[in-house]
Amino acid sequence: MTARSEHSRYVRGLASRIAAESMADTAVLRDGVVNNTNHLLDQRGIVIAALSGSWTSYESEDTGEFHQLYGLLPIEFPITLLPSGRSAAVVPHLRGYVSGGAGTGVFRVRISRIGGENIPPELGDRCTEVSTTSTTGEDLAPDPIFLPREEADASIYGTGIERPFPSLDGSGDAAVARVSMAQIEVWAKISSGVAQAPVLVGLTLREYIGG
């Protein structure tokens, strides 16, 4: 995504340049206020997960079919939705290997609305893939994934996670905040070597809005 901020960085010294009795000139507004606000919008992606464990599909006999990794339930998080019509990029980093001897393990990471589809993921904007033949552990960095707007909208209104939260601003109004939620699933298969199984031992997920 093209940077929203004019300088692609945060410009320091704003507070001392806008104060009572000071003139707020065009440069202050453009560099200090508009640029900085746009840059913070570009830099507000959160870290979603940093998980360690040992998850495998236990389905080595079904060579060629993706299975969800046992025990790694969908990872839910509040997602950032952008004006472009899709979410912030979710950037995965995995560490995985193949157990049981030589083979190729393939991992797919999919983003979806809460509840998901519970069917093997197809490659595309929402799903990325990476493979390994390591038998000890390899760091894997697949492409970023995105949640399209239409799915994100389903997440907002159809998940059951949204609920009324009272406003504590002193006005006493009963306001409602809705949170857009999404989930990440990891699926895996063995593409060669029927006696082996793909094993995931680490997973980092972070949002990246860019600049």
Q: Scanning residues 97 to 136, which ones bind another protein (CB under 8 A)?
A: none
Span of 32-40, 56-64, 102-110, 191-199 interacting with another protein by CB under 8 A: 32-40
**Residue 185: CA atoms inside 13 Å, Cβ hemisphere, count?**
24
Return the SS3 of 29: helix
The two beta strands, 181-192 and 75-78, are antiparallel
Q: Is 4 in the site for another protein (CB under 8 A)?
A: yes
Among 3, 115, 134, 154, binds another protein (CB under 8 A): 3
Q: Which residues in the 162-191 window bind another protein by CB under 8 A?
A: 163, 165-171, 173, 175-180
In whole angstroms, the minimum distance from the beta carbon of 130 to another protein comes to 12
Angle at 50 between CA 45 and CA 54, to 5 degrees: 150
Question: Does residue 47 touch another protein according to CB under 8 A?
Answer: yes
Distance (Å, whole) CA 117 – CA 34: 41
| Residue among 167 and 191 whose Cβ is closer to another protein | 167
Q: To the nearest whole angstrom, how small is the minimum distance from the Cβ of residue 64 to another protein?
A: 26
End-to-end CA distance of the chain: 6
Closer to another protein by Cβ: residue 17 or 133 = 17
Select 60 or 180, whichever has its Cβ closest to another protein: 180
Pairing of strands 197-208, 47-56: antiparallel
Q: Is 23 in the site for another protein (CB under 8 A)?
A: no
Hey, which residues between 50 and 79 contact another protein (CB under 8 A)?
Answer: 50-54, 71, 73-78
Measured CA distances, 30 to 3, 6, 17, 87 (Å): 15, 8, 12, 27
